Structure 1
């Protein structure tokens, strides 16, 4: 679509740094140790500069455990993707040479968005996405400044022949900062992700960052954020997005978050929106 610990990411394409920054906005920095489970729904749509719209529906389920300064999380989405076979969930636009990609019917010559007759290729597929594992450590600073160090791994469980993933594992690290000023939270972060190459997809490592602000609004927090992420391959566009969100805490350490985003470059979807619900016990 991000305190001291890692929260639910608002969007599937979010970089690791975005995760720690959104965590700071939830107002849960001093949440008690324990476990929680979450479910969400996210939809994004755009042409990513290809001339053909791609819609991505993601329904992630997740689990998270807090213990002291550590937070550990795991998530996996169910995906439905319709559109250009060169646009993949999480990664975004790539040069996908897989002849079995969405809408290609096993024909060689992948990487182009045109079929044999010169028309735009289009396909629809659904299934389980990649598993994401994450760990975050809240650094004791002895001050009002919050610092979080994060590490993540994306395990290639999605079907690359359906165009639901790259077929390779990714690994990332991030640093997030936040500070409250009389009820106004400023937050930001940077991250680096090493994207894995697969048989059909050659990608580069990416760097990303975000900067945002949130404010107490009723029982919850209302906020906005800008996010940037470098392109996954030479010749493709960087990703830039603006996101607005509202997070409402619930009983038992849970939360409900709604958000909407607008793409600011061809590397982003034109728009996205979603909801996430988390319950602790």
Structure 2
């Protein structure tokens, strides 16, 4: 069973600038959109290409951070591959192209520690993925999923390291049987100057089925602050095993109000 974690990756990247400026930027509203492209064979002979376009509204106030992502998704490839779910063993692998609304994701984060003196930030986050994607087009499972995670950031001057560990509960839907999984990430970021930062993230997730394997992805990213209202994020990633894409890239543009 393969599982591309589009929301997790894009939301994690959106958090990176915050961990460096969380203390200074509170009570802000922002909108983010962009494009995420991935390609992978996932154990088959034909590549599946996925375009994921999120529209994310975000509000941060005090120790709280709230986000809502409404995505558009397009998938071209074998019919037995479903974004965020995987390759169905008994489904037809006939070539297809389908597109539509993806799964809506709501996220709430609470900062437990946010110390300017120590440079340590510890957050807890709850996520709900609503099964809004069309199951019959193979764009999603049609079920709701739930996740909880803890993230730790440590800032060392212009550099920072961060890690996340979480647990996801998959909603069950006819045709999709998924195991609940632990997942996590480790990464670092370095400010090249006052406008630009770059870094790397390693993502790991347990296999969601007995015949699948763990998902492993490596991402390099570049964040650029254009001005006080706009910032741009670009990233490239690759994965290993049948549960991960072969390669992909994305770009996100954020406006702060």
TM-score by length of 1: 0.83
Q: What runs of 5+ residues in structure 1 fail to find an aligned partner? A: 1-10, 96-110
Partner of 1:267, secondary structure, is coil
Q: What runs of 5+ residues in structure 2 fail to find an aligned partner? A: none
Over residues 28-56 of structure 1, what are the superposed CA-to-partner deviations in whole Å (9 max), with x where a residue is unaligned?
Answer: 32313121111110100001112221000
Count residues with an aligned counterpart. Answer: 249
Looking at structure 1, the residues matched to 183 and 5 of structure 2 have their Cα atoms a distance apart, in angstroms, of: 14
Pairwise CA distance, 1:253 = 4.7
Looking at structure 2, the residues matched to 87 and 19 of structure 1 have their Cα atoms a distance apart, in angstroms, of: 23
- The aligned counterpart of 1:74 is 68
Cα gap change, 1:22 to 1:152, in 2 (>3 Å)? same
Matched, 1:135 2:127: no
- The aligned counterpart of 2:90 is 112
Following superposition of structure 1 onto structure 2, how do residues 1-281 of structure 1 map, counting pairs within 5 Å? 12-13=5-6, 15=8, 19-20=11-12, 23-25=15-17, 27-29=20-22, 30-91=24-85, 93-95=86-88, 111-112=89-90, 120-140=93-113, 142=115, 143-218=118-193, 219-281=195-257
> Which has more strand, going by share of residues?
2
Partner of 2:15, secondary structure, is helix
Looking at structure 2, the residues matched to 125 and 234 of structure 1 have their Cα atoms a distance apart, in angstroms, of: 28
Cα gap change, 1:25 to 1:225, in 2 (>3 Å)? farther
Of structures 1 and 2, the one with the larger relative CO (CA 8 A, separation 6+) is: 1
Cα gap change, 1:62 to 1:196, in 2 (>3 Å)? same
- The aligned counterpart of 1:5 is none
Pairwise CA distance, 1:256 = 0.8
Partner of 1:23, secondary structure, is helix
Cα gap change, 1:84 to 1:240, in 2 (>3 Å)? same
Pairwise CA distance, 1:68 = 0.6
Partner of 1:140, secondary structure, is strand
Looking at structure 2, the residues matched to 259 and 21 of structure 1 have their Cα atoms a distance apart, in angstroms, of: 9
Contact 1:21 1:177 in 2 (8 A): no
Pairwise CA distance, 1:266 = 1.7
TM-score by length of 2: 0.90
Looking at structure 2, the residues matched to 73 and 31 of structure 1 have their Cα atoms a distance apart, in angstroms, of: 16
